[in-house]
């Protein structure tokens, strides 16, 4: 994918704002730290905007410097908080937000979030001619134009660690476990964690495995001497979540010794992994440098280990899909 054109360096830019929006993701604090310290490195001021777009409207802003973002590198969540804003969906709300940015002398923004965050940023940038670069912060890894999103690696590792522990008790009782992971519209977490944890089967929103097929797979594994099975279910699986899948399988195979675990929001929390910290550091620096070079209305991403800029309209109107060929790998190794 081609990068947007780079214009002459904007040496006059003196102050930028940074905020987090949408669902939190491990590594957001590392991204905030990178944006702030990169701004200082380039001789600019940085203002933290609290609670996303709602904080922009409510004028919840404060200056940040290199010391104020110390010791946040390994923290989960986001020190700038995040919140939904129905008011920002209106032109009046966005105008109010822009007025507050102007009052603080903020000339450009770095928005850390996912698809909804970028949609709002795209509209805001067009309406008010505000330079904005987005950092992909979402555990779902479903943003088009970047190989990885901030938070995905940590979330997957959290799932794998949990499933490893579940397997211990499953082995002790010869039970069939159905483990539900996040992924309303994307199966990345389910697919990668399923392969890494040796799941017996993986159910994704993007795949159409029938309940009859799942029942057949579990029966074959049992006949092959497998006494413990773990099925990873993405919450957006077309047949329902883990509880519904378990109900349908028991209806086909009889009343099995089953247990259901919904991992829920533990996937969002925790200290970010090395991979997420490095990704956040790279993208934060890349975004600040991009704003100085005239890039605007784009997402900073990584493609083939190279920093790129992807226009918001491409990132928003397309979706990243997991490699479903990896399901064949998972099935081959699950026997």
CA 93 to chain centre: 26
- Copy the structure tokens of residue 135: 């950092």
Q: Which of 54, 115, 140, 276 is catalytic?
A: 140
Let me know if 140 is a catalytic residue: yes
Q: What is the largest CA-CA distance in the chain?
A: 71
- Rounded CA-CA distance 16/32 in Å is 12
Contact indicator for 297, 312 with CB cutoff of 8 Å: yes
Q: Kindly provide the b/e burial profile for residues 99-138, where b requires at least 16 CB atoms within 10 angstroms of the residue's own CB.
A: ebbeebebbbbbbbbbbbbbbbbbebbeeeebbbbbbbbb
Contact indicator for 17, 108 with CB cutoff of 8 Å: yes
The phi-psi region of residue 51 (left if phi > 0; otherwise alpha if psi is between -120 and 50; otherwise beta) is left
CA atoms within 13 A on the CB side of 125: 22
- Copy the structure tokens of residue 143: 């943003």
- Rounded CA-CA distance 290/307 in Å is 10
List, by residue number, the catalytic residues: 140
């Amino acid at each position: 994918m081609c990068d947007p054109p780079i214009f002459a360096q904007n040496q006059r830019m003196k102050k930028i704002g940074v905020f987090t929006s949408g669902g939190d993701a491990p590594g957001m604090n590392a991204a905030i730290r990178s944006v702030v310290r990169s701004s200082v490195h380039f001789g600019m001021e940085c203002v933290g905007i609290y609670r996303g777009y709602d904080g922009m409207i409510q004028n919840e802003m404060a200056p940040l410097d290199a010391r104020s973002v110390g010791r946040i590198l390994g923290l989960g969540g986001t020190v700038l908080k995040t919140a939904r804003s129905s008011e920002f969906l209106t032109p009046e709300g966005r105008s109010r937000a822009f007025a507050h940015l102007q009052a603080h002398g903020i000339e450009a923004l770095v928005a850390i979030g996912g698809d909804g965050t970028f949609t709002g940023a795209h509209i805001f940038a067009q309406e008010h001619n505000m330079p904005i670069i987005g950092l992909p912060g979402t555990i779902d890894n479903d943003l088009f134009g970047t190989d990885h999103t901030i938070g995905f690696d940590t979330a997957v590792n959290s799932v794998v660690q949990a499933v490893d522990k579940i397997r211990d008790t499953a082995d002790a009782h010869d039970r069939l476990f159905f483990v539900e992971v996040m992924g309303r519209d994307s199966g990345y977490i389910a697919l990668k964690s399923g392969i890494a944890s040796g799941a017996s089967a993986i159910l994704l929103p993007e795949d159409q495995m029938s309940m009859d097929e799942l029942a057949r797979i579990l029966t074959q594994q049992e006949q092959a001497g497998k006494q413990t099975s773990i099925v990873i279910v993405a919450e957006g699986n077309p047949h329902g979540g883990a509880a519904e899948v378990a109900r349908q399988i028991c209806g086909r195979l009889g009343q099995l010794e089953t247990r259901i675990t919904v991992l829920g929001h533990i996937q969002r929390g925790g200290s970010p992994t090395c991979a997420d910290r490095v990704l956040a550091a790279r993208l934060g620096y890349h975004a600040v440098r991009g704003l100085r070079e005239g890039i605007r209305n784009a997402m900073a991403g990584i493609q083939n280990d190279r920093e790129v800029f992807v226009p918001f309209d491409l990132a928003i109107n397309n979706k990243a899909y997991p490699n479903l060929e990896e399901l064949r790998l998972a099935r081959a190794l699950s026997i």
